[in-house]
Amino acid sequence: MASKTRFAGYPSAVVYELPDGKKPIQHLLWGDWLRLLEGTQDGFQKVHARGIDGWMREADIQTDRLLEVVFVDIGQGDGCLLVTPGDKHMVIDAGVGDNMYRFLRWRYGRFETPWQFEAAVISHPDADHYKGFADVFGDPNVTFGTVYQNGIMERNGSDSLGAKTTSGQPRYLTDLVATTADLASFLADPSRWQKKQYPSMIEAASRGGKFAEYRMLSTADDYLPGYGPGGDLTVQVLGPVVEQTAAGQPGLRWFGDVGKTKNGHSVVLRVQYRQVSLLLGGDLNIPAENLLLNHHTGLPAPAASAEEERRLVEAARRVFGVDIAKSCHHGSADFSSTYLAATHPLATVISSGDDEPHSHPRADALGTIGLHSRGVRPLIFSTELARSTKESVTHPNILRGQLRQLAQEIADTPTDTAKNQKKRASLQLLLSIERSVAVFGAINVRTDGEKVVLAQKIERPRGKDKKWDIYRLEPQGGVLQYVSKY
């Protein structure tokens, strides 16, 4: 029997209650999954999509699957889901809390049956990129084929990232955990890593059989395994840069302190699907971006003159130039303008959150991203802005008063009466309200390799057929352009 799986057409499609196109009941984004049901009438097909049955115009249904990247709103941090046209699934960073896990549970039917992701990519061992994997690893039905990472492993002692070269400049980290065998050797001595969050999480996942392979990614790989040249989809590894020490060991350059070194050696991936490209750069910073520019062009970075700068940007665009870029380090001010000029994207996605001490995204980062983007209307998306901010606590002052009153009544009546037990239960219920933000946002990227849709959910839809805020990128004169209605 032929497959009944289909996908919503470009740039979006509407599901109607009846085959007359009058009453919309669902708004689907390009590439959304649907199942054909029995029944066709007057150019309409009966379908099941997003949990409901209805009718779609046959012209709005396609058979080809897209490349999909979802930048999940995981709060302050990074996390995205990449789904290939060949139905492979990767999680690239997962934030610090359980938001990525809650998104994946929704996306994959609460993991009611076993599910294996092809890969987890942990760009670097900072909690706002890796800690959310603890919840994902903790689900009994979830496993991964490979955990990819940058080779840096936190540990106890004064050298918290491992041994460094002791002479010469620059200095290098040399004690890298690059393979599954390296991981086993490192974990064999718990005194090296106990009480450190990252290795403790990886040890628990390894012991629980949550992944088959642990592998470092670097410029020595060129491409993510299985995504090299020759196919429609390639994933090039642009960083971290592995260099040779004076003793001939592979090493990662020491950038002066622990934070800059961990961030600067983030895994950098350039995803290319046919004619469309996307760059994922972790938490790169100025010294790391200069190292990447120098490594991939052979030219000095930073440049010493305006002419050298022009030549550097021209050469670097052949490597780093993309259509869509994930902003490094949540819109931090620690960026190289030359690197941003080299990426030269049409659209940039910033993953950032509330309640953080850095004021991300920084105003100068936003301005420079716009300055070095292409097109007269460059696009800058933010998971923080895409999030719905409807308050689930309508009257917070009233809630505070209720909390104070209940607490006082309990204190005044210490005996464990049935009435007091009810008050204690009410107090616990009120205290369980963790956030007033009701819905977390995400930036969705869909492409067939020629056209692109970037979309975010509308906070207050004007109708059942207007749930998505959609931006279209289309080729014009052989170059991808943002198509604005204005």
Query: CA triplet 79, 81, 86: central angle to 5 degrees?
Result: 160
Token pair 């629980």 is found at 208
Task: Spell out the domains of the chain, with CATH numbers in brackets.
Answer: 1-64 (2.30.30.40), 67-385 (3.60.15.10), 393-434 (no CATH)
- Among 183, 164, 159, smallest CA distance to 247 is for 164
Beta partners for residue 480, in sequence order: 475
- Among 349, 401, 474, smallest CA distance to 72 is for 349
- Among 19, 21, 31, 40, smallest CA distance to 61 is for 31
Q: Which two tokens stand for residue 227?
A: 């995504």
Residue 265's H or E segment, with its range, is: none
Instruction: Give the other-Cβ count within 10 Å of 103's Cβ.
Output: 22
- Among 96, 124, 91, 95, smallest CA distance to 108 is for 91
* HEC secondary structure over 206-247: HHCCCEEEEEECCCCCCECCCCCCCCCEEEEEEECCCEECCC
Rounded CA-CA distance 359/371 in Å is 20
| pLDDT for residue 199 | 97
Rounded CA-CA distance 399/242 in Å is 55
The answer to whether 193 touches 155, Cβ cutoff 8 Å, is yes
Residue 102's H or E segment, with its range, is: helix 99-107
Rounded CA-CA distance 62/450 in Å is 15
Count, residues in the chain: 486
SS3 (DSSP) at 323? coil
Rounded CA-CA distance 429/423 in Å is 10
Q: E-assigned strands of 185-344?
A: 211-216, 233-239, 243-244, 250-253, 268-273, 276-280, 324-326
One digit per residue, pLDDT tens: the chain, 486 residues? 367 999 999 999 999 999 999 999 999 999 999 999 999 999 999 999 999 999 999 999 999 999 999 999 877 778 999 999 999 999 999 998 888 999 999 999 999 999 999 999 999 999 988 999 999 999 999 999 999 999 999 999 989 999 999 878 899 999 999 999 999 999 999 999 999 999 999 999 999 999 999 999 999 999 999 999 999 999 999 999 999 998 889 999 999 999 999 999 999 999 999 999 999 988 899 999 999 999 999 999 999 999 999 999 999 999 999 999 988 665 667 778 999 999 999 999 987 655 555 555 768 888 888 888 999 999 999 887 656 555 555 566 676 677 778 777 777 776 667 777 777 776 666 555 544 444 457 899 999 999 999 999 887 778 888 999 999 999 998 899 999 988
Token pair 């890796």 is found at 130
SS3 (DSSP) at 456? strand
Q: What is the pTM of this model?
A: 0.88
Rounded CA-CA distance 201/219 in Å is 26
What CA–CA distances, in Å, run from 206 to 137, 145, 214, 237?
10, 12, 9, 25
CA dihedral sign of residues 18, 19, 21, 25: positive
Q: What is the DSSP letter of 32?
A: -
Phi, psi of 157 (to 5 degrees): 100, 180
